[in-house]
Amino acid sequence: MNTVTAHTAVTPTSPLAIAVFWLGVGIPLSWGVWSTLQKAMALFG
Amino acid sequence: MSHFLSKDAIVARPGFNRWMVPPAALAVHLCIGQAYAFSVFNGPLTKVIGVTESAPDDWKLTTLGWIFSLAIVFLGLSAAFGGKWLEKVGPRVTMLLAAACFGGGFLVSAVGVATHQIWLLYLGYGVLGGIGLGLGYVSPVSTLIKWFPDRRGLATGLAIMGFGGGAMIGAPLSVFLMNHFSTPGSVGITETFVVMGVLYFISMTLGALTIRIPREGWLPEGWTPPPAKNKLITRNHVHIDQAMKTPQFYLLWLALCLNVTAGIGVLGQASVMIQEMFRDSVNAAAAAGFVGLLSLFNMGGRLFWSSASDYLGRKNTYFVFFAVGAVLYACVPTMGHMGNVGLFVVLYALIISMYGGGFSTIPAYLADIFGTKFVGGIHGRLLTAWATAGVLGPVLVNYIREYQIDQGVAKGDAYTVTMYIMAGLLVVGFFCNLGVRAVDERHHMLGDGDKDGAARQSPSATLQPAGAR
């Protein structure tokens, strides 16, 4: 009975975990985009 | 294989949120995308001994060029051969091996720089790094497709956008680290390689530990597969080896190869081209800015076009690449003659966005045509088109340009024929895409049933390649 319960129990992923993982990839990517944009501004300077 | 690494260990529990999967894929693709920025090491690598300027014993650029070429060749090979293995062992093992190869490749290269042994760089970044690139590229893509049956294009776009964005992180990070570690007696590459190798290994490993695959029969909450309206979206599955026997595989191989050949050829020449076409108005710094802008469009195009393909359809999206692309390529020389830098930049940016879009849309296209069960392996084999184009594109552009200049054509005008030839390649690609039809039923897996639901209820062990019939 317990085994069945363990297999069917729904454990929703924490929204905090989702946010942390997205920030983990989003911050370095944003830094890279910002650095590239600064470099690209030379074209219009 | 230990349970921790097995496919069973990473089957998501009920309640797992699928939006955890794209960051796991991005953690890998943002690392391996560094490959596009490898050229930032070329200058310093020619001064490892001389430091301020190249010494006679320092490596030449031609010697160093082989490192990147080897990496691309091994990317293609490992994706082609590793893709089938990926379907067997699951994404966690493949991603961990990719992390070990890519991170380890940097460490072996660091030893190569410290001891000034070029073969260690060939082995490190070229062979090991290339294997890491190929395995890392394909491993999360099929998993994402399975998690997002309702938005395949968006899912693959998110991951493959990371490959475009990886260079944007890798380039400034490399420059920052080399500046930090450089001393009057060293260019600081050894330490830079060590730090980058460790960082990339950690990031990719985190991605591998986070990745999950959906359980059999899983569908997004509230979503049911729409009734089959589009014959090009199959609910059956084609085995990897069987896919190689279909004309669709080769048509899509050619479509990708031609799109990439055209894009990669002009991307590599972008800086020189804009300076030579607009000699009076564009200097080296502005040209570097132009290349930066293109990399933004390369990355953005991967997400935009792939997401758009969810609404336009994959075949129509590829029609846009080939039809609009051919017109844009043909217009570039005219913009040069008119001296219109602004329009030139806009055309070029659109071209490069579609070059990136070709990469991110193809896995979803393959999933539509061949089904989702073996899409990782089929995608891996199709990536040999990328390796081929990686050689073909630059050679074609450089050869035609040199030939034109030898014939007395002014440097600024030497790209005209090249761009028309690239436009011609896209016209050929248009017809390849036109020829793509639904896969004949005889190629479908046995035990598939007609619908995904039926397929999911069948244990995968009972599925056999159609050839076994």
* 3-state helix/strand/coil string of B301-365: HHHHHHHHHHHHCHHHHHHHHHHHHHHHHHHHHHHHHHCCHHHHHHHHHHHHHHHHHHHHHHHHH
Q: In the prediction, which pLDDT does B460 show?
A: 39
Domain-embedded: residue B222: no
Domain-embedded: residue B77: yes
Q: What residues contact B179, with CB distance under 8 A and at least 6 apart? A: B188
CATH number at residue B406: 1.20.1250.20
Which residues of B fall within a CB distance of 8 Å from A41? 289
Residues 142 through 171 of chain B touching chain A, CB cutoff 8 Å: 162, 165-171
- Do residues B211 and B256 share a domain? no
- Do residues B45 and B99 share a domain? yes
Whether residue A24 and residue B27 make contact (CB cut-off 8 A), yes or no, is: yes
Test mutation, A7, A16, A29, A41, chain B, max B CBs within 10 A? A29
Domain-embedded: residue B457: no
- Do residues B248 and B391 share a domain? yes
Last residue of a domain, one of B216, B248, B272: B216
Q: In the prediction, which pLDDT does B352 show?
A: 95
What is the token pair recorded at B337? Answer: 């003659």
- Do residues B296 and B427 share a domain? yes
Alpha carbons B426 and B257: distance in angstroms, whole number? 10
Alpha carbons B208 and B78: distance in angstroms, whole number? 18
- Do residues B67 and B124 share a domain? yes
- Do residues B196 and B247 share a domain? no
Query: Would you give the DSSP letter of residue B383?
Result: T
Q: In the prediction, which pLDDT does B447 show?
A: 65
**B10-31 tens-digit pLDDT:** 999 999 999 999 999 999 999 9
- Do residues B129 and B265 share a domain? no
Q: Give me the domain span that covers residue B438.
A: 240-443
> B199, B190, B141: which is closest to B170 by C-alpha?
B199
- Do residues B246 and B145 share a domain? no
- Do residues B199 and B244 share a domain? no
Query: Per-residue pLDDT for A7 more than 60?
Result: no
Q: In the prediction, which pLDDT does B385 show?
A: 93
Domain-embedded: residue B468: no
Whether chain B has a CB inside 8 Å of the CB on A45: the answer is yes
Residues 168 through 187 of chain B touching chain A, CB cutoff 8 Å: 168-172
CA-based nearest distance A28→chain B, Å: 7
- Do residues B327 and B200 share a domain? no
Q: Which residue has the higher pLDDT, A20 or B408?
A: A20
Domain-embedded: residue B453: no
Alpha carbons B398 and B260: distance in angstroms, whole number? 16
B131: exposed, middle or buried (Cβ count in 10 Å: 0-12, 13-18, 19+): buried
Residue type, B32: I
**Number of domains observed in the structure of chain B:** 2
Q: In the prediction, which pLDDT does B121 show?
A: 97
Query: Per-residue pLDDT for A2 more than 50?
Result: no
Q: How crowded is the C-beta side of B212, counted as CA atoms within 13 Å?
A: 19
Instruction: Say what the ipTM of the complex is.
Output: 0.85
Which residues of A fall within a CB distance of 8 Å from B167? 32
Q: In the prediction, which pLDDT does B458 show?
A: 37
What is the token pair recorded at B265? Answer: 């050829």
Whether chain B has a CB inside 8 Å of the CB on A44: the answer is yes
Whether residue A10 and residue B292 make contact (CB cut-off 8 A), yes or no, is: no
Test mutation, B293, B294, B297, B303, chain A, max A CBs within 10 A? B293
Confidence of residue A5 (pLDDT cuts 50, 70, 90): very low
Last residue of a domain, one of B182, B216, B250: B216
Whether chain A has a CB inside 8 Å of the CB on B303: the answer is no
Q: What residues contact B148, with CB distance under 8 A and at least 6 apart? A: B18, B154, B155, B220
Whether residue B289 and residue A39 make contact (CB cut-off 8 A), yes or no, is: yes
Domain-embedded: residue B229: no
- Do residues B128 and B32 share a domain? yes
Domain-embedded: residue B225: no
Whether residue B169 and residue A31 make contact (CB cut-off 8 A), yes or no, is: yes
- Tens of pLDDT along chain B (469 residues)? 567 788 888 999 999 999 999 999 999 999 999 998 888 998 899 999 999 989 999 999 888 988 988 898 899 899 999 988 998 899 999 999 999 999 999 999 999 999 999 999 999 999 999 999 999 999 999 899 999 999 999 999 999 999 989 989 999 999 999 999 999 999 999 999 999 999 999 999 999 999 999 998 899 988 888 777 778 888 889 999 999 999 999 999 999 999 999 998 888 778 888 888 888 888 888 888 898 899 999 999 999 999 999 999 999 999 999 999 999 999 988 888 888 888 999 999 999 999 999 999 999 999 999 999 899 999 999 999 988 888 888 888 888 888 888 888 887 778 888 889 999 999 999 999 999 999 998 998 876 544 443 333 333 333 444 443 3
- Do residues B369 and B313 share a domain? yes
Q: How many helices (H) and strands (E) does chain A have?
A: 2, 0
Domain-embedded: residue B47: yes
CA-based nearest distance B370→chain A, Å: 31
Angle in degrees, CA B183, B185, B187, rounded to 5: 60
Residues 3 through 22 of chain A touching chain B, CB cutoff 8 Å: 8-13, 17-18, 21-22
Nearest Cα residue in chain A from B159: A25
